Amino acid sequence: MTALFWFRRDLRLADNPALLEAVRLGEKQVAPVFIIDPKLLASVGPARSSYLRDTLSALDESLEGALILRVGDPYEVLRALCHELGATDNVATADYAPSGRARDERVTRELAVHGRHLRFVDSPYVVAPGTVLTKAGTPSKVFTPFRRYWEAEPLLAPFPRPRDVRWVSAESDSLDAVTHYAARQRPEYFGDLPNDPPVYDPRVGEAGALAVLEDFLSHVAAYDEQRNVPALEGTSRLSPHLRFGTIHPRTVLASTNGSSRGSEVFRSEIAWREFYADVLWHNPESTTKVLQANMADLPVDTDDRAVARFHDWARGETGYPLVDAGMRQLLAEGWMHNRVRMLTASFLVKHLHLDWRWGAKWFMWRLIDGDVASNQHGWQWTAGTGTDASPFYRVFNPTLQAERFDPDGRYIHRWIPELRDTSAPDCLQPGGGGGLFAATGYPAPIVDAAVERNEALDRLAKLRER
């Protein structure tokens, strides 16, 4: 008896209860499959598709080359494989994002017609989205009470790696199909923005995730002090691994749970990830629709000048050094420090007056950790449109942010080579504080931040008057 295990956002063997269930149902005979769905991949940018390909390659290695890759519609692929391998049971970790939920409902229904069972076990979260409720039985709209209820849920110990499994393989498509089918639905307004994959940490896959975690454990105690300084490696860098499930947050928390202030703050960041997944579960429309209806009509610019400004922002050529350093890190590494994500997002919305959805789309296109819940709600938080969002009238000042979080310009120097010979505080200012940048080739500021801040607040005031 063979059971089929459908890998999706859980590309690992350890701490994977759904895989353990497949091992049980298949009596230790499991066919591991990953489905390359061209419809899904079309909107995945070059960063995540390249990261996914490398992660699948690592997964295949840990399965002794047995991973079955098939291009096609999930229902068609699973049905064909069940037929080929004589399998009845299919198991997967549940997906909680709106498109995944819709797909899973359809595939389950269609397989059932043919007498095949598709079961879902566990989730990519410590607590499954939709589970954490207030005493009144309602979801929390605000993070702090959510976290309190979330903390009260039991934290399960990591599950063991399955042993003595016979991996059953079958004919497989090429791994290159992942990048082949990706990035076909590139938005027109991206124009000629770079489309090459970034260069990321080569520690991919499950072993890579454990190595990254191991590194982080040496400085988790200082996380609370270092996490806001983009020049430091003060954060865990686990986000792409959590995105692709090469590690489960259970395992991460089991290793980082300590009494230090750093561990405590880190746990809270993991809770933000869980909060946003929960918000998305209850509000599937929030991938594109604002959660605060009264902000829906805030005017945004969409003309040619707006598109040109969007391109300057995406290329890291706004003339605001910390903003540009972040956008260039995103282009180069497919990752950006959280502090700078907040600043660059705020700059797009409040200084350039562009639609947050444009920015969110570019982030999703370029991030290796691009995750619909964390990204869309990170953007809604910044744009003042989300549940528990930072109010719109709180505008990050790009120069003050640089002075506070990159005072010696180390992060700016790393990502903006034109400014390497300009020391702080001059390199923190747009224009270099007195036209110093003119000779460096680094662009002059495309907007005046003080003027545009007032413009943003004006737009908000007019919206409120209506």
Ligand X SMILES: Cc1cc2nc3c(=O)[nH]c(=O)nc-3n(C[C@H](O)[C@H](O)[C@H](O)COP(=O)(O)OP(=O)(O)OC[C@H]3O[C@@H](n4cnc5c(N)ncnc54)[C@H](O)[C@@H]3O)c2cc1C
Interface residue with ligand X among 205, 230, 370, 430 (CB under 6 A) is 370
Q: How far is the CB of 437 from ligand X (least distance, A)?
A: 27
270/424 with CB nearer ligand X: 270
CB of 374 to ligand X, least distance (A): 4
Q: Which is nearer to ligand X, 32 or 45 (CB)?
A: 45
Determine, following the binding rule CB under 6 A, whether residue 235 of this chain makes contact with ligand X.
yes
Selected from 95, 104, 122, 371, the binder of ligand X by CB under 6 A is 371
Q: Does 52 bind ligand X (CB under 6 A)?
A: no
Under the criterion CB under 6 A, does residue 374 sit at the interface with ligand X?
yes
72's CB contacts (< 8 A; 6+ apart) are 35, 36, 37, 38
Taking CB atoms within 8 Å and a gap of at least 24, the contacts of 337-345 are: 337/230, 337/235, 337/411, 338/227, 338/235, 339/228, 339/229, 339/230, 339/401, 339/405, 340/230, 340/411, 341/378, 342/378, 342/382, 342/396, 343/396, 343/398, 343/401, 344/313, 345/378, 345/379, 345/382, 345/383
The answer to whether 350 contacts ligand X (rule: CB under 6 A) is no
| Nearer to ligand X among residue 85 and residue 209 (C-beta) | 209
Asked if residues 14 and 158 have their Cβ atoms less than 8 Å apart, the reply is yes
The DSSP annotation for 302-344 comes to: -SHHHHHHHHHHHHT-SS-HHHHHHHHHHHHHS---HHHHHHH
**# residues contacting ligand X (CB under 6 A):** 27
Does the protein bind ligand X through residue 242 (CB under 6 A)?
yes
State in angstroms the smallest separation of the CB of 274 from ligand X.
Answer: 8
**Judged by CB under 6 A, which of 35, 118, 342, 348 binds ligand X?**
342
Give the shortest CB-462-to-ligand X separation in angstroms: 25
CB of 377 to ligand X, least distance (A): 7
The SS3 of residue 233 is: coil
Please select the residue that binds ligand X; options are 48, 79, 116, 243, rule is CB under 6 A.
243
Q: How many CB atoms within 10 Å of residue 115?
A: 8
Site string for ligand X, 212-231 (x = CB under 6 A): ---------------x----
Cα(66)–Cα(32) distance, integer angstroms: 7
Inter-residue contact 169 to 298 (CB < 8 Å)? no
Angstrom distance (rounded) from CA 410 to CA 420: 9
Q: Are strands 166-167 and 117-121 parallel, antiparallel or unpaired?
A: unpaired
The answer to the question of residue 333 lying near ligand X (CB under 6 A) is no
Structure tokens at 359: 């920015």
Whichever of 378 and 432 has its CB closer to ligand X, that residue is: 378
369 lines the binding site for ligand X (CB under 6 A): yes
In whole angstroms, the minimum distance from the beta carbon of 376 to ligand X comes to 8
Q: Is residue 312 near ligand X by the rule CB under 6 A?
A: no
Find, among 8, 23, 50, the residue nearest to 368 by Cα: 50
Indicate whether 272 belongs to the interface with ligand X (CB under 6 A): yes
Q: Does 209 bind ligand X (CB under 6 A)?
A: no
Contact call for residue 411 and ligand X (CB under 6 A): no
CA 311 centroid distance within chain? 22
The binder of ligand X chosen from 146, 276, 310, 396 (CB under 6 A): 276
The residue of the chain with the least Cβ separation from ligand X equals: 378
Taken in order 105, 106, 111, 113, the sign of the CA dihedral is positive
Q: Is 36 in the site for ligand X (CB under 6 A)?
A: no
> Residues interacting with ligand X, by CB under 6 A?
227, 235-239, 242-243, 269-270, 272-273, 276, 338, 341-342, 345, 363, 367, 369-371, 374-375, 378-379, 382
